[in-house]
Amino acid sequence: MSQYKIIFTGPVGAGKTTAIESISDVPPIKTDATASDMTKTRKAATTVAMDYGIMNLAGGEKIHLYGTPGQERFDFMWDILTIGGIGLILLLDNTRADPFQDMKFFLESFSKFIEDTDVAIGVTQMDLSNKPTIEEYHIQLQGMGLKTPVFAVDARVKNDVSLLVQALLYSLDPGLEEDE
C-alpha cells in the first residue's frame, strides 16, 4: 500500500507537534529532546528527528502526518520526508523576529514539493502578536506570485488545523467532494 503523507513544517515553536497531535487518531510519536541551543529561548523541548501521527480513513487506509524538525540543521531530511507527500502545511510563529523571512525560507526550501503538490499556511500565536496581519502575509505572497491559503491558527484547536488541511485539499482540487 502506498504511503500517503501530509507534511507539517515551519520554524521551531510554530506548533507542528501540537498540530499533528490535534488531528492524529493515535498519540503521536514525538522525538522531542531538551533544547540545548538557541532553541531553548523559545521552548523547553524541541523536535530533533520528526513527529509522526496517523489519520485512519474509511476503508482501512491511513494518512501519515509527518512533522519536520524545526531546526535548519536538519534540513537534509526534508527532501526524503516529502517523497509521496500529498501537500505541505507550513506553520509560522507570529511572535518570531521576522515571520516573513521564515515564510520565504520554508517556501523556497520546499519549492519543488510545493510545485508538485500545494501548500497551506497557518500563522500561530496571533493572540500574542497580531502583527504581521494575515493581510500582510498575503501581500508578501502576492509578491512571490502565490495565492496560498493563510489562516490564523491555534495549533491546539482541532478545527483550526482541520480547516487548514481542508484548504490544502481544495487547493489541490476545488471539485473535490466529501466522502463520508
What is the distance between the alpha carbons of residues 27 and 22, in angstroms, rounded to a whole number?
Answer: 10
Q: Name the one range near another protein by CB under 8 A: 33-41, 44-52, 94-102, 156-164.
A: 156-164
Number of residues that bind another protein (CB under 8 A): 49
What is the chain written as a DSSP string? ---EEEEEE-STTSSHHHHHHHH-SSPPB--EEE--SGGGGT-SEEESS-EEEEEE-GGG-EEEEEE--SSGGGTHHHHHHHTTEEEEEEEEETTSS-HHHHHHHHHHHTHHHHHHS-EEEEEE-TTT---S-HHHHHHHHHHTT----EEE--TT-HHHHHHHHHHHHHHH-TT-----
| Residue 149 contacts another protein per CB under 8 A | yes
| Residue 61 contacts another protein per CB under 8 A | yes
Task: Name which position in 31, 43, 55, 75 contacts another protein (CB under 8 A).
Answer: 55
What is the distance between the alpha carbons of residues 146 and 174, in angstroms, rounded to a whole number?
Answer: 17
| Residue 157 contacts another protein per CB under 8 A | yes
| Residue 141 contacts another protein per CB under 8 A | yes
| Residue 171 contacts another protein per CB under 8 A | yes
Q: 49 vs 152, which CB is nearer to another protein?
A: 152
Q: How far is the CB of 58 from another protein (least distance, A)?
A: 6
Q: How far is the CB of 146 from another protein (least distance, A)?
A: 9
Task: Name which position in 44, 73, 76, 177 contacts another protein (CB under 8 A).
Answer: 177
Which residues contribute to the site for another protein (CB under 8 A)? 4, 23, 55-59, 61, 63, 86, 122, 126-128, 130, 133-134, 138, 141-142, 147-154, 157, 159-160, 162-167, 169-180
